[in-house]
Structure 1
C-alpha cells in the first residue's frame, strides 16, 4: 500500500511540474545568480558572469527530478546586456531540455541616488519528451514511440533598483503551448508563470563589512492558480573584494503559510573570480518519509573584467 501511495504522489507531482516547460525555480537564484530567474539582470556587472547549477531532488527516491543548467550574461555597450541559459531536466521518464537568449536594457533614473530601471525580453526553445523505452509494461498498442513537443516561447522582465532596494517582476512562457502530441483534455496549454522578487541590502555604514539582505520570492502559475512564496534572509561578510555568506529560506504554498514545503540553509563565497554556493533543502511535506531532502549546488566564474562608463551596470 505504501508503494502505491508513493507512486500516486510522485506521479501527481511529476505531471504538475512536467508541464511547466521552464527551469524549476528552487533556491538556486539565491547563490548570486538572479539572472537564472529574471532576464532583466543580464549585463549587470563588469564581467562575463558564468554560473553552473545542479539540483538533485528527493535524495533516496528512485528516478526523482534531477536538473542541470548553465547560464552566462555579459554587458553589451554601456547600458545593455545579453545572456543565455541552457538546461536539462529529467523527471522519471519525462524529460525537459531547453534554452533561452535574453536581451536587457538598463536606464538611469537618478545616478546620484543609484536609481535604475531595467527591462528585458527572452526567446525560449523548450522540448518536453516522454520516453517509453524503460516502461516495464506497455499494453497500449497506440503507444509505439516516444512523445515529444517543441515549444518556442517568450519571457519578459523588469527590474527597479534604488540604493540597496531591488524589485523584479517577470512573466515567463507568454504564449500558450502546442499540445498536439499529447492529450488536450489533461494537458494544460496555459504555461504562463509570474515571478516577483524583492529585497533590500542593508549596511549600517558603506564601509561596514557586514551586510543583511532579507528578500521575498513569489511565483504564480496561471494554469491552475497555484502560488508559492520564499521568505529569505542572507548575512554577508566582506573581505575587501571577496565575501562569504550564509542564510536561510522558507518556502510555502500561499494558502498554507504555516506548512512549509521545505526549509533550507544556504552558504556560499566569492574568492577572487570564483563563486561557490550550496543549499540543502529539508523537505517538510509527505515526501519526508521517503527522502531526506534536495541538494542545490552552484559553481561560477567571472571572466574578462572591465570598467563600465555607466553606473546602471554596476
Structure 2
C-alpha cells in the first residue's frame, strides 16, 4: 500500500506538470504588478504611457528542473489614435516539458465620456501567436523499444489566439478574456485534455481613496476556468498605494484557491481531497518612469512537492507618456 501511495502521488505531480507545461503562458499573480496586459489583450495601450514589462519566476529553489518562467511584454497606443498594439515573448520550463511563445496584439479603445476627464471606456483586444512545445525524452530510462517513449526531444509548434474586452468606468474596471481559443496538438496528441487549453478569465475590481489623500485602496478578484480539465479557481486580491514625491510605493496580498479538489491516499489509507491554496504578498515601487515589484507565493496545502516558495520579480519602464487624462483613482490607466 505504501508503494501505491507513492505511485499515486508521483502520477499526480507528473500529470500536473504535464498540463501546466502545455497550457501556454501560465497565469500567476504577476498581472497584479501593473501588468494586466500579460493576461488581458484588451489592456494593450489602455494607459497614458507605453509600457515595457519583464518578469522572471523561479519555483522551488534547490530542486533540479524546477519550473522557471520568463516573460517580456510591451504595449502602447498608435500615435493619437484609439488603436493600440502590443507583443509578448515568454519561455516556460517545467521538468521535461517546456514551451515558448510569441504573441502580437491589436486593441481598440472606445471612449464614451464627453471628455477625457471622466473615464468611461470599452476596449477590445485580440492576440495571435505561436506556441512551441517541447518534451525532452533523452534522459528517460527504459529497456528496449517502448511505444510511448522515443528517446528524443519531441517538438511541435501550434498557432493560437486570445481575445477579450475591458470596461473601465471612473474607479471601476472589469476584464474578460478567452485564452487559447483554438485546439492545439502539443506534443501529447494522444492525451485529449492537452489539446484543449482554452481558459476563461474574469477580473473585477475598483480603487478607493479620499479626495486629496495620498492613500488609495484596490480590492479585486479574478476567476479562471480551464475548459479541458474543468478546473476553476479564484483570486482574492487587495492592494494599497501611497503617493510620494518621487513616485508611488504600493503593496498587496493575493489569495488563490481552487474550487475543485484533487484526491490522494492519506496515511490512513483513505481517499482524501485537498484544494489548491496559495498566498502571495506583493511589494512594488514606481520611481518616475521605472517600476520594480517582487512577489512571493507560498502554497499552504498539507501535501506539497516542497515547502519552498515561488519568487517572482518584475521590472518595468514607461515611455512616450502623456498627461494623466482622467480624474479617477485608476493606476492601470493614468
TM-score, with length taken from structure 2: 0.85
Following the alignment from structure 2 to structure 1, what is the Cα–Cα distance between the partners of residues 106 and 324? 18
Consecutive unaligned residues in structure 1, runs of 5 or more: none
**How many angstroms does 1:308 deviate by?**
8.8
The 5 A counterparts of 1:81-120 are 81-110=84-113, 111=115, 113-120=118-125
After TM superposition, the structure 1 stretch with the greater mean CA deviation from structure 2, 122-131 or 58-67, is 58-67
Give 1:15's match in structure 2, choosing from 18, 35, 38.
Answer: 18
Aligned twin of 2:204: 198
1:189 aligns with 2:195: yes
Higher Cα Rg: structure 1 or 2? 2
Aligned twin of 1:299: 315
SS of the residue 1:254 aligns to: strand
1:293-314 CA-partner distances (Å, limit 9, x unpaired) = 1111111111233459899974
Mark the CA change 1:138 to 1:65 in structure 2 (over 3 Å): closer, same or farther: farther
**How many angstroms does 1:4 deviate by?**
5.3
Aligned twin of 1:244: 249
Consecutive unaligned residues in structure 2, runs of 5 or more: 262-273
In the TM superposition, structure 1's runs of 4+ consecutive aligned residues that sit over 6 Å from their partners are: 308-313
Number of matched pairs: 310
1:147-196 CA-partner distances (Å, limit 9, x unpaired) = 111110111110000011000000011111135x5342455322210011
SS of the residue 1:282 aligns to: strand
SS of the residue 2:195 aligns to: coil
Q: Does the CA-based 8 Å contact 1:201-1:213 persist in structure 2?
A: yes
Q: Does the CA-based 8 Å contact 2:138-2:151 persist in structure 1?
A: no
Following the alignment from structure 1 to structure 2, what is the Cα–Cα distance between the partners of residues 47 and 72? 11
After TM superposition, the structure 1 stretch with the greater mean CA deviation from structure 2, 59-68 or 81-90, is 59-68
Q: Does the CA-based 8 Å contact 2:185-2:194 persist in structure 1?
A: no
Q: Does the CA-based 8 Å contact 1:250-1:260 persist in structure 2?
A: no
Aligned twin of 2:157: 150
Give 1:161's match in structure 2, choosing from 168, 173, 176.
Answer: 168
1:261-312 CA-partner distances (Å, limit 9, x unpaired) = 2111111010111111111111112554623211111111112334598999
Following the alignment from structure 1 to structure 2, what is the Cα–Cα distance between the partners of residues 185 and 299? 37
Q: Does the CA-based 8 Å contact 1:48-1:305 persist in structure 2?
A: yes
Give 2:301's match in structure 1, choosing from 285, 291, 295.
Answer: 285
